[in-house]
Structure 1
Amino acid sequence: MHVYTYICIVKLEDAIQSHNFTSEKQKAGLHILFTAYQLKCEVSAILKPFDLTAEQYNVLRILKGKHPQNMCVKDIAGRMIERSSNVPRIIDRLVYKKLVKRSQSKEDKRETMMILTDKGLALLESSSQKMNETFDGILRLSNEESKILNDLLEKVNKEQ
């Protein structure tokens, strides 16, 4: 059973076994947390056959946005979905897997530059295809509903 099946058929109240919310905002906040956790579990399951973590996938996705140019580690860290000081270790694993290459900046020798390899690009494309299929299955929203959800989430995140 896929996690997204669980997401689609279970109401928040049943999943967390609570029907007492102090407000609709509290319920919405808990709903966002619950859904984010469920999505994270599903993403981990999707990426496991590709031998990738969600964080490694995110780094590859970020590098693809600049491909075929290099990108410094600091800029990668600033674009991560989950901010952490773990980015150098995540990159070390990707270098070990030959999915990215590391080089020294020509302008600033203290700066480390990263670039996506052909192997990394191919893996990203195949894993992204699976991710997109899964998001379609999980969210079950029309394009219009997805836009509304995106607008609402952007409104919430604008305050952050």
Structure 2
Amino acid sequence: MNVEQILKTEKPIALESRSLIHLILVYNKVNEQYASALKEYEISLQQFNVLRILRGQKGKAANLQTLNERMVSKQSNTTRLVDKLLVKGLVNREVCPSNRRKIEITITKEGKELLLELDRIINNTEKDLLADFSKDDLVHLNNLLDKF
């Protein structure tokens, strides 16, 4: 991915700016690929993330705060995401019997089944995105990204 070609500029971009622009362009490409993979299922990447978090609870309920803390994209409106998943029958939402102010959210059987199918699709998408990287490249990339 050549930043100058994508931005259609002949003028050199300062290394610091180029690096950050490059990260944004890569983020956009990855996001587009994920969105494209999930589009057929009418699930957003954020909804997919909520379902994965709930599956990771291993049958235990999660509340909105737990979901917010574990979301990859922190600016997501978790309440809205849960509402959409509820309409699709992929999650259940109940008032906690011991604390009526707390809402408990669990994944349904349908949600788990959909996730199994989506896992394969997302794994293939990730393999495609990372096809040009060796294991050593990925270790090095992660070490560099950890510096952020």
Gap regions ≥5 residues in structure 1: 1-9
SS of corresponding position for 2:17: helix
Following the alignment from structure 2 to structure 1, what is the Cα–Cα distance between the partners of residues 95 and 134? 45
| 8 Å contact kept, 2:4–2:13 | no
Following the alignment from structure 1 to structure 2, what is the Cα–Cα distance between the partners of residues 152 and 68? 36
| 8 Å contact kept, 1:102–1:112 | yes
Amino acid at match of 1:151: N
Q: Which protein has the bigger helix share?
A: 1
| 8 Å contact kept, 1:102–1:113 | yes
| 8 Å contact kept, 1:67–1:115 | no
Match of 2:141 in 1: 149
Q: CA deviation at 1:56?
A: 0.6
Pick from 111, 116, 129: which aligns with 2:107?
A: 116
Following the alignment from structure 1 to structure 2, what is the Cα–Cα distance between the partners of residues 44 and 85? 15
Q: CA deviation at 1:82?
A: 1.5
Q: Percent identity?
A: 25
SS of corresponding position for 1:126: helix
Amino acid at match of 1:149: L
Q: CA deviation at 1:134?
A: 1.1
Scaled by the length of structure 1, what TM-score is found?
Answer: 0.85
Scaled by the length of structure 2, what TM-score is found?
Answer: 0.91
Q: How many residues align?
A: 146
Gap regions ≥5 residues in structure 2: none
Q: Measured at CA, do residues 85 and 47 of structure 1 come closer, stay the same or move farther in structure 2, by a change above 3 Å? A: closer
| 8 Å contact kept, 1:105–1:111 | yes
Once superposed, what is the RMSD of the aligned Cα atoms? 1.4
SS of corresponding position for 2:59: coil
SS of corresponding position for 2:35: helix
Amino acid at match of 1:99: L
Q: CA deviation at 1:85?
A: 5.5
